[in-house]
Structure 1
Amino acid sequence: MMSHCECNILLVEDDPNDIFLVERAFRRANLHHPIHVVKNGDEAVMYLGGQDCYKEREKYPLPALILLDLKLPRRSGLEVLEWLKQQPLLKRIPVVVLTSSRENVDVDRAYDMGVNSYLIKPVAFNALQEMMQALNSYWLKFNQYPSVYST
């Protein structure tokens, strides 16, 4: 089982401003989890699959949580989710969609494909910080982790 301090986060986000704000929200909330960032859907698949430059699991560990944007270059967030849910062990990693899309079709499709939670990026930084604190409490502190992490 993973301890609280070993919780790595994979942030799949192409917007540099959103990357900055999420990392800043974690710091401001005094949350010190390592955040690994990939900027497109193909990179997310390579990271999670341990391919190419992401082969070293010491340097690129499996995340305890994936924060996934939907609107990504090369492969959309939903395509990443679809790939992930076809992987025997990786499909157990909790995925939280963090996006600006309020489209019902996106929300429904993400849940149909097995997303664990769907969050709309707040506009105000304080709201983002509160969201990251809540996300930390639920997914990284209280959540029971699947056995993908003990392999």
Structure 2
Amino acid sequence: MKSLLLVEDNPHDEMLLLRALRKANLINPVEVMRDGQQALDYLFREGEFAGRSDLDLPAVMLLDIGLPRLNGLQVLQRLRADPRTRLLPAVILTSSDDERDRLGSCEGGANSFVNKPLDFGEFAQTLARLGLYWLATNEPP
């Protein structure tokens, strides 16, 4: 079963996302990374994940922009530069409404740019739709 990689430093947003996915009956495993460097280490099996035996990439990565150590746009740049992760679907999921972030995400190769709604009901619906699309509908190459 394909997993979802969530790169999110806000524990409250993480809890809301996990709750929304459960509510949508998506049972796929969710791996959570707290910063951009940890996400890259996980994907490239480096650092604390050097011994990870699972070779499959997640079905999709939900990536916040405002992350510690390496921000979301820097992570995206590294993903797209490496043949092992070049095609990994990456959805920027952020509270930023800055046009520069949207443009930088698209230019950096994000598959989608989604604003985190402030209302929990809207947030849950948005995440459920994202999860259903990327985990149940999308057919990766």
TM-score (norm. length: structure 2): 0.93
Partner in structure 2 of residue 78 of structure 1: 73
Residue in 2 aligned with 1:3? Answer: none
Q: Which residue of 2 aligns with 1:52?
A: 47
**Alpha-carbon separation, structure 1, partners of 2:19 and 2:132:** 17
Q: CA deviation at 1:54?
A: 1.6
1:43 aligns with 2:38: yes
SS at match of 2:106: helix
Residue identity matched to 2:7: V
Between stretches 42-51 and 130-139, larger displacement belongs to: 130-139
1:94 aligns with 2:89: yes
Q: SS of the residue aligned with 1:53?
A: helix
Q: C-alpha deviations, 1:103-139, integer Å up to 9, x for none?
A: 0010001000110000000112211221122112322
Q: CA RMSD in A?
A: 1.3
Q: CA deviation at 1:52?
A: 2.5
Q: How many residues align?
A: 140
Which residue is 1:149 aligned to? none
Over residues 42-67 of structure 1, what are the superposed CA-to-partner deviations in whole Å (9 max), with x where a residue is unaligned? 10110111112223133x85211000
Residue identity (%) = 39
Cα distance in 1 for residues equivalent to 2:102 and 2:53: 32
Provide the rounded CA distance (Å) in 2 between the counterparts of 1:42 and 1:139. 23
How many Å separate the matches in 2 of 1:127 and 1:31?
Answer: 17
State the alpha-carbon separation in 1 of the partners of residues 53 and 99 from structure 2. Answer: 36
Q: Which residue of 2 aligns with 1:112?
A: 107
CA contact (8 A) 2:26 2:132 kept: no
What is the TM-score when the length of structure 1 is the normalising length?
0.88
Q: Distance in 2 between matches of 1:111 and 1:40?
A: 20
Q: Does 1:17 align with 2:5?
A: no
1:100-139 equivalence runs, <5 A: 100-139=95-134
Runs of 4+ in 1 over 4 A off after TM superposition: none
After TM superposition, give the deviation of residue 89 of structure 1 in Å: 2.3
Any conservation in 2 of the 1:25–1:125 contact (CA below 8 Å)? no
| Structure 1 gap ranges (5+) | 1-5, 147-151
